[in-house]
Structure 1
């Protein structure tokens, strides 16, 4: 009886508080589990009363917060508004796709930036090399050699230095001239070592030609002959007819100096055949000039005169052909100019007629 009365009292008290607008959560309840009224109750009864009071307090505390109650239910109750698994999987795929596209775009942008940087570096290096190869200061080129990073640049610098010293024939004083020749040889050999490393046959041939020229000037004919033979071999391997002819002419000069006249004549004969076969008139003129020098060396003046006469005739024929080509070019240019002027005249005439017709039409309309 006492238990029921106590419970009813608590319920009535809480109800009155609610009616009066007093939030139950802001006050402390007077009823305590250990009050004298409940102290002598069994433990099971105490637990039951405590549970009932807890439920009542929770209900009263949330009675004035319907929005919060609904929100709590939505959060705590997992059965409300479940997200389908298909939608979840699609969202994952879309998210991963967006991330993948973003990564691809970032990677593509990074690659483009890297390629652009490589191109810019290459352009800068080319501009630097072009500037260096125009330099006429041996000291600056030698300084640059100390910082050259690759064999190609070193070879180009060596070649440029050699070319600066190749003007030895313009230097007065035999001692200084010899110094220039030796520097030319030294840097050309250094360049050959670099060119040989990556098999640049054209640069090698030019270097061999230069060494043959310097050694010929120093009257070191054995060395000159050896290097021009290397040049000739490279030219034959590439079927480079103009340079085959040029190397044969140089060989004939060297053999003439060492009094090997018959072999010199054989070289000139082969060079003449190649020049005629390939319709190289200028090469043929050079061969005929060296034929005349060889006959003069042999004191065979009639043959020398005959060769020079043939050379002069060929030179005159070449001059006439060049004049005819020039005249044809001028004629073609004149025809184009006349055609353009005629078109301008026709255009001007048509414009005048059109203007006249338009003016007549306006007068008639008036």
Structure 2
């Protein structure tokens, strides 16, 4: 009883002082108090720079995952160039496939191996351009078997080269190497030293893809480069230097990689080879970034960017824009990194849409 009187007196005093309204008296006297609203609220300001940096980091991770698209696109271009040079019976079209099947059976009955090989090549080209690599490989292997029986070395070279490109595109580098070795043997028997040297470089690239650095170095320095030098082939020597630069960069031997980049640049300028010059500028910028010389790397990227725009090399431009985004990020310029990556994303999307395979 005494406690209730005390509570009532306190309530009257609170109402009189204006702390609570009269209508709240019952809740104050009869119910326990409770907290309303959040117990804790962090009103500290958001670090927008940190958020921007984190966003750039995520976009760079995505860009690096997409780097394989550029490699694939260049391999597709090489494959299509080979397919367009392949001897076939006629322009391969889906509507003609049933007719080709009938013709193939007729040629088998007549034991006409040359015509059979032409039909099989046609199938191989058709499926290769459609992106059906397993089917293309099947038909080209069949065609090679017939070309071998005919001792048609020129035809064997063409088919084996196609197979090498298809295996490389599908990531079967060891099988691609076997085709490279076959082509080298054929070219040697035909005394075509320039083509032998070219194929040694292809073989070295496949070895590099397998990270067999010593073997790749051997085929470039001991096989391809001496042949190109003996023939006075500056373009071939330049390609050797390009490959050596990539090889040493992958091994983090940056001083050697940079030296071969400089040699490549000098030869590219002499030969007025814009594509090679762009590639060399990109690569020397990569080396400089690895050596933490970001300002100088950016200068080389901008030179490469200008050349790529002037010559409309979209594949190179995609690579350059992505790498510039990476360089600006390393320099702490996140606004410029974002702009470069916006352009990279736009160009990359355009490139992928136009990719046949």
Larger radius of gyration: 1
Q: Structure 1 length normalisation: TM-score?
A: 0.45
Normalization by structure 2: what TM-score? 0.46
